Structure 1
Amino acid sequence: MPSIKVFTRWRPPLPSEAAAPEIARTQASNPGQNTTIALTPPPSQKLSRPWKSDSAFTEIFNADDSNRTVFEHVVAPTLPRVLTGQNCNFFAYGHSGSGKSHTIIGYDFERPDEFGLCLSAAKALYEHLYQLNENTKENETLLLGLRMYELRKNIAFDLLNNRCKCHIREGADGKTHVRGETETLADGKVRVRPIVTKPCFTFEEFHAQLLAGIQSRATGTSTIHDQSSRTHAVFEVEIVTRELLDARDAVVERQSELVPVGKRATDIYIEENMKAIIQTPDGKYVPNPDYQLNQTAIDEAEAKKAEYESRVQKAEEYVSEVIKSCHHACLGGKMVFVDLAGSEYCHDKGSVSTMRTKQTPQEQQESRQINTDLLSLKEVIRAMARKQARIPFRSSPLTMVLREHFVTGGDDGVSAMILTTSPSSEQYNATIDTLKYGNLIGMAGVR
């Protein structure tokens, strides 16, 4: 099970919160142990109680800590793992307006100290790749592949492919696949492309692609502000080569060639078997004495199907060969950054949600789905930490998508969750909910 670390980040108070006092909070840690947080409710929150966490938090960042500081403490230590081909996952969790997108994406794309974790990680990786690429053949040049998509309910939208609508499905291999609409090509070929991977040879290219994808993100009304993201955004940064990307594209092409051949084999089998039986007056089905099953046609179609299935298998095997034959162990190493949708609790008494107009039925449904996703994520992490036989990945589209990243991370992989919290007393209940969520995950990780 990959280890899970939980960090807390307090954002500065907003100008609109200047009139409200800050939440009274203390933190403490013993040598060799994680940190505890204790909160005292403000006088205005008469129904709220004080709360103290377990020793669940790896580190706490204050309002004056920059994105660069968070990167150096949370992401930078995992770079050696990624450079040996492992997966590392980073989540930002908190209510809307608490600073999740600022942490993962950043809003100042010109000042390196304010780069979000995703952009800072790419910059650091390119510094290593430039060194590794010295005296490397052109088709083996290491670069970064970027995938960006957002999840809304059970649909994914490819942010680097004109917000192409993609579907989340579990394949016969037990893996989750996120793929776009079906394309019908010449000769009956049917192609279903996965989320687009944009190859970025330089940091400048990566920077430009990230900005383009961010412009495609959807926003909506939340309990905090009107430009809150109401989707989970996933940013996958993978070390790839042009040869690896071409090999993966070849798998998609071989699969598209298999579809019409497989369909024809199925059609012939059904057609022959339908001709070989008849219905009696009393409604029973019996062998047709006037028709001889054309087993030769069935066998020829199945043989053709097996031939094309073999082509798909060889293409998949070649992808594995490309990774194994690479002189650099980092090929396939991946960082996954997830900007989770805001955790809204619409009916908490005394919370900020009572200060805004009541949500529409559609917004309430959206919030329920978001909270279901976040609960499922917590349960998956806890189940993995406890080494349970059954991990509930199928509980939500979010955990289905993240399954590959958790599983391929291996026992040495690392996952980190950054809780973004508001210091405003007006956000006391929302902040408590965030810390309780992180406390459960943090304690599961230390068992």
Structure 2
Amino acid sequence: MARGTLFSSIAGGGLLIGIVSWLAGTAPAAGVQQQSPGSNPPPLDYSLTADSQPQPGVPTGSLTKHVLAPGKFFPGTPHNYQVYVPAGYDRNRAIPYMIFLDGSGYAGNNVRVPVVLDNLIAKRDVPPMIAIFVDPGVMPALSDEAQNRYERIFEYDSLTPRFANFLIDELVPEVGKSYNLSKDANDHAVAGISTGGVGAFVAAWNRPDQFRRVITWVGSFGNFRGADRLPGLIRRTEPRPIRVFMQTGRQDLVNYAGSWYLENPRMAAALEFAGNDVRIELGEDGHSNRHGASMLPETLRWLWRDYPQPIAVREPQAGAGRGIFAELVPHRELLPPPSNPAREGGAGRGGQPATPPPAAGRGGGPRGAVYALIYRDKPWEQIGGVYKSVASPAVDKDGNVFFADLAENTIYKSDAARSVAVFRENTRGA
């Protein structure tokens, strides 16, 4: 759960119980939910589908409980975890794995990941895999006068690679002592809810050499410990070969750290911009696991589709104004999009935006035409002559590029044909 809701709602009772119930996997079927202040939840039917119910004749995997001893990344802090092993597991073959943060909740009756995996593996909709359900660390109190230290926020919300390294260097090797886990990053996935959604994404973002598939539900990509900076980092950084599924709801949290219903589409738009394979589902629920749990079978099919084909980054394309870009044009970014089934699929679902964006000309579109001229497999090409200095590059709406040679007090213009000509002389250093 997000911290802002805890402080605003604990006096009314119920939320702290909800958090404990989520972690213990014993919450009521409706899930842990907090609506935005002053809102009334709409009538919803996020019931679990047949693939989340035990089915006759489907082999059942095993689920065992374990404790990971404190290590170097979180000294003094043990971690409880569970391991799901599919029926028919073959020790002689390396097997994919998927890690679920706040794992007890995912393994419990609200979400039923083990049941879903039983059914999807039996249908061959996903590959046989081991699931690791790890809970946040709890440092035991050092004296009777102290309290336990619950490290969920510290572990999940940070943008550093510490938590990812904990998973890779401590948790996975411990599980690997008993099972033949694949070492191929294409075989590894990580999932989380709320703050755990941040932890899951950041793990893959920092270590794409180890994680390629991500699920985030109602991800807390607000201004807590820096997650609000992720969209900008994604847009400015070479894309990682990761596939990301995101989900949030119209009634999701709004507090001092941001609006979840706006922050999640910002993340999805940045990933789409960068060339990643991303899908976002915008529902009607609040800060809850209900919507995500109801579509978990579909989500896993999407996440593992085309397996074992490696996940690849697509080449950026100028003017790629489809999907969620239409919802996030600047003058509408502060307003939630209207309820429209054709829009709620987001990127990767194949639906058309209700209002297509303007056609992108040269230099236009959400990305800008310059991206169409830069490729990893082609070297940079020099245009024009040799200048004493090149500074202050700028581009106009027609795609012409301007730059200044300050030493010569001259501004040059380069057009689409790569022809460079003097634009202004005697600029006196301007």
The alignment's TM-score, normalised by the length of structure 1, stands at: 0.24
Higher relative contact order (CA 8 A, sep 6+): 1
Give 1 or 2 for the bigger CA radius of gyration.
1
- Higher share of residues assigned helix: 1
The alignment's TM-score, normalised by the length of structure 2, stands at: 0.25
